[in-house]
């Protein structure tokens, strides 16, 4: 994979293609990390760290940076239709489905807010993400025509839909209202 940062292309071998998108990094950020990793490679290798490639060092730096940034936040998994059916079938389930796509900027804007809410409200409901490009049948089933769209399910029944990006506090109020929170 080629990544570009500040007009310079760098070759990066990423072992897991979903790693970058799951961590919320874009190619520009990864390019900057690769560039910094190339500059630090001699110092790191001389200091006793052993990386087989610059890409390994870059990925470890990405993970460290992202883990620090997301410390304390719950990870929202992107699931498929089969996993969603399994979660819905659980008795007493309260599920928030975030319909989004990797190319959608408003979806990326609300990602952090939803992760924070998932961490704060983990006892009350689950938040999962559905990528509409990978599972269009689930999006069609819930009538998703625009993204980001958030769908609320209680005991397997569709109770409400919210279309568009919103501030974190609005999402919190919305979820607590429909799920009976104080």
State pLDDT tens for residues 146-174.
999 999 999 889 999 999 999 999 999 99
pLDDT (0 to 100) of residue 68: 44
What DSSP character marks residue 78? B
Give mean pLDDT, residues 76-103. Answer: 88
94-100 and 2-5 strand pairing = unpaired
| 104 in catalytic set | yes
Predicted confidence (pLDDT) per residue in 6-50, tens digit: 555 545 544 455 555 555 555 555 656 655 655 555 555 555 555
HSE value, Cβ hemisphere, 13 Å, CA-based, for 150: 23
Catalytic residue, from 76, 107, 110, 150: name it: 107
In this model, does residue 80 exceed pLDDT 50? yes
In this model, does residue 108 exceed pLDDT 70? yes
**pTM, rounded to two decimals:** 0.60
Q: Are 13 and 1 in contact (CB under 8 A)?
A: yes
Segments of the chain assigned to CATH 3.40.30.10: 81-178
Write down the CATH number for the domain with range 81-178.
Answer: 3.40.30.10
Catalytic residue, from 104, 118, 128, 144: name it: 104
- The Cα–Cα gap between 133 and 127 comes to 19
Give the Cβ contact number of residue 45 at 10 Å.
12
- The Cα–Cα gap between 45 and 96 comes to 45
pLDDT (0 to 100) of residue 93: 86
């Amino acid at each position: 994979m080629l990544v570009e940062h500040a007009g310079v292309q760098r070759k990066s071998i990423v072992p897991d293609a979903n790693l970058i998108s799951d961590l919320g990094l874009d190619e520009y950020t990864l390019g900057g990390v690769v560039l910094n990793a190339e500059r630090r490679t001699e110092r790191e290798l001389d200091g006793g760290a052993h990386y087989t490639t610059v890409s390994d060092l870059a990925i470890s730096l990405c993970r460290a940076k992202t883990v620090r940034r997301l410390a304390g936040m719950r990870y929202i998994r992107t699931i498929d239709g089969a996993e969603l059916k399994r979660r819905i079938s659980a008795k007493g389930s309260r599920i928030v489905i975030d319909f989004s796509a990797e190319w959608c900027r408003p979806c990326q804007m609300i990602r952090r807010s939803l992760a924070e809410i998932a961490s704060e409200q983990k006892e009350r409901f689950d938040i999962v993400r559905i990528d509409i490009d990978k599972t269009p049948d689930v999006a069609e089933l819930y009538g998703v025509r625009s993204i980001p769209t958030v769908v609320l399910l209680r005991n397997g029944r569709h109770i409400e839909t919210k279309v568009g990006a919103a501030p974190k506090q609005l999402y919190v109020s919305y979820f607590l209202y429909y799920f009976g929170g104080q």
